[in-house]
Amino acid sequence: MTDAQMSNPNTTPLRLGIAGLGTVGVGVVKIVRQKANLLAARTGRPVVITAVSARSKDKDRGVSLANYAWEDDPVALAKRDDVDVFVELMGGEDGPAKDAIEAALALGKDVVTANKALLAHHGQALAETAEAKGAVIRFEAAVAGGIPVIKSLTEGLAGNEITRIMGVMNGTCNYILTRMQDAGLPYEEVFAEADALGYLEADPNLDVGGIDAGHKLSLLSSIAFGTKVDFAGVELEGIQRISIEDIHQAAELGFKIKLLGVTQMTGRGLEQRMSPCLVPADSPLGQLKGGTNMVVIEGDAVEQVVLRGPGAGEGPTASAVMGDVCDIARGFRLSTFGMPAEQLTAAKAARSNSPAPYYLRLTLEDRPGAMAKIATALGDNGISIDRMRQTRHNDELAPVLIVTHKTQRAALDEAIAAMQSTGVVASAPVALRIEQV
């Protein structure tokens, strides 16, 4: 008998019902089929698929589904007597995914999901239902693809008081920004390229607007700080306004631009922000390329842990799904967000207020006294200028780059509002936090 079998004497098969046979669902089917012996050895029991569901039964997915029962309705799949674990890989914050998960939980069945949007909006209610029914919800695949960040927080770092989490959590945005940097291409061209390659969600704003990454950040915040999931409390800013000029200017200053998520508990409440920032080019985050994700966790005992890996794709995400399945097969039980749902507190949302230097790009009307008005707006709000330069210039417009000394974002926003009332600012300024990591 293996060690796994000794710790888990239940050798009856763990039966999976998989709803959603897209890239990730097919990846899960492949792992279960190809790694059957390995899974049984590691968990102490066979792991099998008994039934599946998807929008189209006849679609060629490159893998045989002949041995599995088919259900057109994912809710019917969740209710099947021969399904022990409902694996939800359809996506969507409401609709069939939510209905099917609720059906599975109502019957006391465990759930494995990659659906970060669903959990960001309904995680608390689903966690309470699961715990009332003695079921578990596992969602490693919902955050950072193949990186085991959920397991790290709930298990490996359980003895730490987490002080801060930051990271790059959307591979599509990181691809766009690094492609702009490496190829010298404008945002619009790289966006179209990413769309043609199939990297973007059906609603691209979920990616480039920071929403997808914000969902992930809200889940990490709940686990890290013992709070109810509060996606509405995440400050969101996407990458749509990042220009190739910003990329070049940041590089000259020794930085790269990343869509960076940061969450920390402060005396004012829970700060959660997802926004483009400048990070040192030679830092681990600055060196991150393409679709790779990185999550940095800081704890009082461990200090800093850096997790890096593929943030999406068939293999990495299916790997995360199967990690959760294997834990269930072993008999490992854990509250959805690392502690009982009834003990999670409703944190007060706090706007990020820690001082930092800022990169500020302006396009001014080329007229006498324009720059003096900008300097006055900054000075009136207690903001001093570290560096300033004027870039390409014509007879009508004067692009200006300013790097401030450390200031609070609220003060900078007041200064920007004052600038825009002067009549010398030709377009909305771009302000990016410079994050020291």
Q: What is the DSSP annotation of 204-241?
A: THHHHTSHHHHHHHHHHHHHHHTB---GGG-EE--STT
Q: Which two tokens stand for residue 266?
A: 């402060």
Per-residue pLDDT of the chain (437 residues; tens, 9 = 90+): 344 444 455 689 999 999 999 999 999 999 999 999 999 999 999 999 999 999 999 899 999 999 999 999 999 999 999 999 999 999 999 999 999 999 999 999 999 999 999 999 999 999 999 999 999 999 999 999 899 999 999 999 999 999 999 999 999 999 999 999 999 999 999 999 999 888 888 899 999 999 999 999 999 999 999 999 999 999 999 999 999 999 999 999 999 999 999 999 999 999 999 999 999 999 999 999 988 999 999 999 999 999 999 988 899 999 999 999 999 999 999 999 999 999 999 999 998 888 999 999 999 988 888 889 999 999 999 999 999 988 766 668 888 999 999 999 999 999 999 999 998 998 899 999 999 87
| Contact (Cβ atoms closer than 8 angstroms) between residue 97 and residue 22 | no
The pLDDT score that the predictor gives to residue 48 is 98
Q: Determine phi and psi for 108, rounding to 5 degrees.
A: 75, 20
Pairwise CA distance, residues 52 & 85, whole Å? 12
CA dihedral 216, 218, 220, 226 (to 10 degrees): -160
Burial 408-426 (b: 16+ CB within 10 A, else e): bbebbebbbebbeebebbe
Give whole-number Cα distances, 225 to 163, 249, 266, in Å: 9, 36, 11
Annotated active-site residue 216? The verdict is: yes
Q: Given the residues 109, 116, 216, 373, select the one marked as catalytic.
A: 216
In sequence order, the β-bridge partners of residue 297 are 165, 305
What is the CB neighbour count within 10 angstroms for residue 258? Answer: 28
Pairwise CA distance, residues 346 & 124, whole Å? 10
Q: Determine phi and psi for 229, rounding to 5 degrees.
A: -60, 130
The pLDDT score that the predictor gives to residue 253 is 92
Burial 13-46 (b: 16+ CB within 10 A, else e): bbbbbbbbbebbbbbbbebbeeeeeebbebbbbb
pTM confidence score:
0.92
Q: Determine phi and psi for 391, rounding to 5 degrees.
A: -100, -150
Pairwise CA distance, residues 136 & 84, whole Å? 12
What is the CB neighbour count within 10 angstroms for residue 172? Answer: 26
Burial of 267 (0-12, 13-18, 19+ CB in 10 A): exposed
Pairwise CA distance, residues 54 & 368, whole Å? 65
Angle at 35 between CA 33 and CA 39, to 5 degrees: 115
The pLDDT score that the predictor gives to residue 121 is 97
Which DSSP string do the residues of 309-350 spell out, in sequence order?
Answer: EE-SSHHHHHHHHHHHHHHHHHT----TTSS-GGG-B-PPB-
Pairwise CA distance, residues 72 & 53, whole Å? 6
The pLDDT score that the predictor gives to residue 19 is 98
> Which residues, in sequence order, are CB contacts of 334 under 8 Å at separation 6+?
136, 138, 154, 155, 327
